[in-house]
A = this chain, B = another copy of it.
Amino acid sequence: MLNPNSDAAMTAAVLTAARAVAAPDTIVSGRNPDTGPAAIESHVDEAFGEVAVARAVAASVDDGVDAYVIACFGDTGRDAARDLVDVPVVGMTEAALMNAALVAHRFTVITLPVRTIAMAERVVRHLGLEHRCTVRAIDLGVGELHDEAAQVAELMIAEALRALADDGAEAIVLGCAGLAGVAEAIGTACGVPVIDGVAAGIGLAESLVRQGLTTSSIGTHARVALPVDLR
């Protein structure tokens, strides 16, 4: 699990969520950079997060990692990681959207804060799911997740109910790696599936590994190395 931000507490939470659904024979570990943004909320944060992901991949290249999951909504650094290694790299956002598309005809991502709507929509468009997926936001910073868990659930549920009524949503996608804790509350309140990309990402990574699939080595992601002076 590659967390592109420097918040070790979020990495720990991500590992807990991932291990809860991993197959018995899967070993889940995680990494986050020591420095850099503590949350990925702006395009500036994303730039530093992408470099952090590239460096984490390069640093672990001899560790026998079978697959990577990008544990940040927006899939920060996913494409750079795919350039660097043969083993599969799964973005948690892609994974969440794919799972949602299997259990609901239409669904809604709820992200936070408003400025990240464009980043979620970028992944929706990367897959082409605009006709089945809307993106909404609650007006809260990622950093406020720790402090205000109760309020987060309340805000998410209110927004989810609007998605059901106004967008025809039949499932909800959590728009942040740090939201797994409120999934159950939303599901109970709204009566629809709630998808966490961390959990979805583990499953897709496991499946790609069992099939022996690796990132294509021609074209877009033909392998490159990270020069030593940039590591």
Residues of A within 8 A of B (CB): 21-25, 35-37, 41-48, 50-51, 53-54, 77, 79-80, 82-84, 88-90, 94, 98-99, 101-106, 114-115, 117-118, 125, 127-132, 164, 168, 170-171, 191-193, 195-196, 199-200, 202-204, 206-208, 210-211, 213-222, 224, 226-227, 229-230
On whether A213 and B192 interact (CB within 8 A), knowing A208-B103, A220-B118, the answer reads no
Residue in contact with A23 in the complex, picked from B77, B106, B206, CB distance below 8 Å: B206
- SS of A interface (majority): helix
**Interface pair B230/A48, CB less than 8 Å apart:** yes
**Interface pair A105/B24, CB less than 8 Å apart:** no
Cβ contacts under 8 Å, A46 to chain B: 50, 79-80
Cβ contacts under 8 Å, A90 to chain B: 102
**Interface pair A114/B193, CB less than 8 Å apart:** no
Residue of B nearest to A202 (CB): B207
State in angstroms the CA–CA spacing of A25 and B25 once bound together.
Answer: 10
Residue of B nearest to A22 (CB): B210
**Interface pair B164/A218, CB less than 8 Å apart:** yes
Cβ contacts under 8 Å, A127 to chain B: 101, 127-129
Question: Apart from A44-B54, A118-B220, A193-B215, what are 7 other A-B pairs with CB-CB below 8 Å?
Answer: A21-B207, A35-B229, A43-B83, A44-B83, A47-B50, A47-B54, A170-B219
Cβ contacts under 8 Å, A80 to chain B: 42-44, 46-47
State in angstroms the CA–CA spacing of A204 and B44 once bound together.
Answer: 23
A-B residue pairs in contact (CB < 8 Å), sample of 7:
A21-B207, A23-B25, A42-B83, A46-B50, A47-B54, A202-B207, A207-B207
**Interface pair B193/A203, CB less than 8 Å apart:** no
**Interface pair A99/B220, CB less than 8 Å apart:** no
Cβ contacts under 8 Å, A37 to chain B: 227, 230
Cβ contacts under 8 Å, A207 to chain B: 21, 99, 199-200, 202-204, 206-207
